[in-house]
Amino acid sequence: MNQALLEHSTELFLNRELGLLEFNRRVLAQAEEESNPLLERLKFLCIVSSNLDEFFEVRVAWIKENIRMHTARPAPDGLSPEAAFHRIAIDAHALVERQYKILREVVLPELAQEGIVFLRRTMWSDAQRQWVREYFDRELAPVLTPIGLDPAHPFPRLLNKSLNFVVELDGRDAFGRSSGVAIVQAPRIFPRFIKLPPDVSGVEHGFVFLSSVLHAHVDELFPGMEMRGCYQFRVTRDSDLNVDDEDVKDLRAALQGELSQRQFGDGVRLEVADNCPHHISDFLLEQFGLDNEDLYRVDGPVNLVRFMQVPDQVDRPDLKFQPFMPGVPKELRKQPDLFSAIRHGDVLLHHPFQSFTPVIDLLQQAARDPHVVAIKMTVYRTSKDSALMEALIEAAEAGKEVTAVVELMARFDEEANINWAAKLERVGAHVVYGVYGYKTHAKMLLIVRREEGRLRRYAHLGTGNYHQRTAKLYTDFGLMTANEEKCADVNDVFIQLTGMGNPGKLKHLWQSPFTMHSSMIDAINREANIARAGRRAVIIAKMNSLLEPALIQTLYDASQAGVSIHLIVRGVCTLRPGVKGLSENIKVRSIVGRFLEHTRVFFFHNDGAEDLYLGSADWMGRNFFRRIEVAFPIFDLKTKRRIIREGLRPYLVDNSQAWEMQPDGRYRKKTTRGDHKRNAQAMLLAELAAKDRD
């Protein structure tokens, strides 16, 4: 097949952005799923909004930039930027319309039946109206700054995703001005939902929208003038950072300069209330340089993400997922000395079903252990109150050699990473920012300890970030090992990141941007050759995204050779499965449930050798060619069997939360036949949480 067809073909590849919207349709379906607790269904609505915010800030912004730059080169799916944007707009509008319909017609009415009510302004009682009046006078009025538009007050620079109101006015003010239009910005420090006392609301949990409070009293900000209308709106902006590869000399300083401007990038989407007149929405579109396809009229609040605050204010455990206590592997319960436990054999952690605490404990023990001489760690995403970062600081203060490879270009976490980097530097840690132009996405921790007169290394390798909060929400594997050859490979990768020189040959780890892509291709081709020889050939791979064209073509070739290929891809997949003559031996499924599926597991049958790798990389071009990534093999038979038993098999038999991908890119929900319902995440909770059964 010629290269042009390989790289740009609607027959071979699906569109990435449409695939992301398809994923959000699957998330939205969780809000309709009656078996999910009601407040969790509300959260799924919020997750869709949060996902769409980032989708517009990054992906749509990128496409619009290509349109502006007249980029002629199409994406692998063959669509031009203009054609892709038009199809995205159609699907995105349909998705948002369905989302708000579910909110209005399903979730809010069912919440009201449970005594959780969002009181509409037109239905307020006298007591509620008086309470709102006092709240406005006491809390809001002193901090609001209305801006009347005239030559001295041009249209203001509005923050990305902030809640704002455009107000139509009649009459003249004290200075004789009559622009007819004003802007009121809702203060970001205020909650978007305000809880009323039960004796005022008349229900156990009664809320009013901040927008309703402002609507009710915004006319008081313009005394002597008549308010003709008040309409909420929100603009989403391009949020990618623009750091010039050629001119940058200090990446941290360059990023700090860019972060302050992120909130004021070019507009990419305008959301308005459905009652907003067309002449007002046209006026706003003009201000932000947008077209009608960029306009989203919604019947409800323009920012559903803020509903995420509600479950925390409602003490109704019966309307939330049942809490659980993460388990701890038996070998760690028996041996509190983590170094001793790891010396006796690899320790596998499966989050969130098993606790992330042992990872924190390992680093804290290393920081306080007088025999530990050095610690090296990659930092891609971590929490603002990270116990891991505090342990690194403690280790540096204790005089240990601490090296932190901090990725400053971790999107939307740049500021937090810059702050941790500064704190680490202040206590004498070696802080480096990896290799410029290549994001450090590998998840690695290396500890060097003096034992019996020699130095011994311990490593932690993971599929997920060193982030305490997401470790409770994302499924990931982490491996603690003292295997000398694996630890030596990890050390070699750290030397690459902190020093200079040509890459050495790693014994076991596959590494991007050097060997991972070719190694994956070779492993797939090996299975294809086995199939051609008439023997059993199987590939099972679990990841977040599958986009890379050359690897997809290799999978197509393997399918045609007779390899049985099972792909578990949580998010976007641009491969077309089940196409006769191309991919009839490829099945793709997506699992969407309580936890965000995040593990990367790669299994190749290899004539019975059953090669198994865990890694930090999805099958995307950026992960293979523009990032520092590692995939590491699992040698220990017990550990390998456990990963297959927990990380692959439950997902292949799931008939509750599984969606099967069709050749056209749409997904069909897997239906349960009979009474035997299998839910992968519930099965793993039952097996691993609270009481481990090894």
User: pLDDT band at 670, cuts 50/70/90?
Assistant: confident
Percent of the chain, pLDDT > 70?
A: 92
User: pLDDT band at 661, cuts 50/70/90?
Assistant: very high
Question: In the predicted model, is pLDDT for residue 656 greater than 80?
Answer: yes
pLDDT tens profile 86-144: 999 999 999 999 999 999 999 999 999 999 999 999 999 999 999 999 999 999 999 99
Residue 679 marked in a binding site: no
CA–CA distance, 362 with 340 (Å, rounded to integer): 11
Residue 70 marked in a binding site: no
User: pLDDT band at 420, cuts 50/70/90?
Assistant: confident
Residue 381 marked in a binding site: yes
What's the rounded mean pLDDT across residues 453-457?
A: 96
What's the rounded mean pLDDT across residues 544-570?
A: 98
CA–CA distance, 75 with 85 (Å, rounded to integer): 12
CATH 2.30.30.30 fits 3-319, yes or no: no
At residue 245, the pLDDT reads: 45
Residue 278 marked in a binding site: no
Greater confidence (622 vs 175) lies with 622
Helix, strand, coil abundance in the chain, percent, nearest 5 = 40, 20, 35
At the second CATH level, the architecture of 330-505 is 2-Layer Sandwich (3.30)
Record the tokens describing residue 674, joined without a space: 């009979």
What's the rounded mean pLDDT across residues 338-362?
A: 97
Residue 411 marked in a binding site: yes
Contact 374, 512 (CB under 8 A): no
Question: In the predicted model, is pLDDT for residue 557 greater than 70?
Answer: yes
User: Which of the following is catalytic: 441, 467, 517, 566?
Assistant: 441
Q: How far is CA 506 from the centre of its chain?
A: 31
| Helix H or strand E encompassing 377 | strand 372-379
Region for 70 from its dihedrals, namely left if φ exceeds 0, alpha if ψ lies in -120 to 50, beta otherwise: left
Contact 221, 184 (CB under 8 A): yes
At the second CATH level, the architecture of 511-688 is 2-Layer Sandwich (3.30)
Q: Where are the domains of the chain?
A: 3-319, 330-505, 511-688
Greater confidence (648 vs 406) lies with 648
DSSP-derived letter for residue 204 is: S
User: pLDDT band at 172, cuts 50/70/90?
Assistant: confident
CA–CA distance, 79 with 246 (Å, rounded to integer): 31
At residue 260, the pLDDT reads: 54
At residue 246, the pLDDT reads: 41
CA–CA distance, 125 with 141 (Å, rounded to integer): 22
At residue 676, the pLDDT reads: 85
Q: Beta strands of 86-187 (E only): which ranges?
A: 116-118, 147-148, 164-170, 181-185
What's the rounded mean pLDDT across residues 37-57?
A: 97
Task: Give yes or no: 441 in active site.
Answer: yes
Amino acid identity for residue 268 in this structure: V
Contact 173, 148 (CB under 8 A): yes
- Average pLDDT of the chain to the nearest whole number: 91
User: At how many degrees (to 10) do helices 251-259 and 414-426 cross?
Assistant: 140
pTM for the full predicted model: 0.92
- Topology match between the domains 3-319 and 330-505: no
Structure-token match 């809320």, residue found:
207
Record the tokens describing residue 369, joined without a space: 């252990």
The alpha carbon dihedral of 76, 82, 86, 89 has a sign of positive
Residue 51 marked in a binding site: yes
DSSP-derived letter for residue 665 is: S
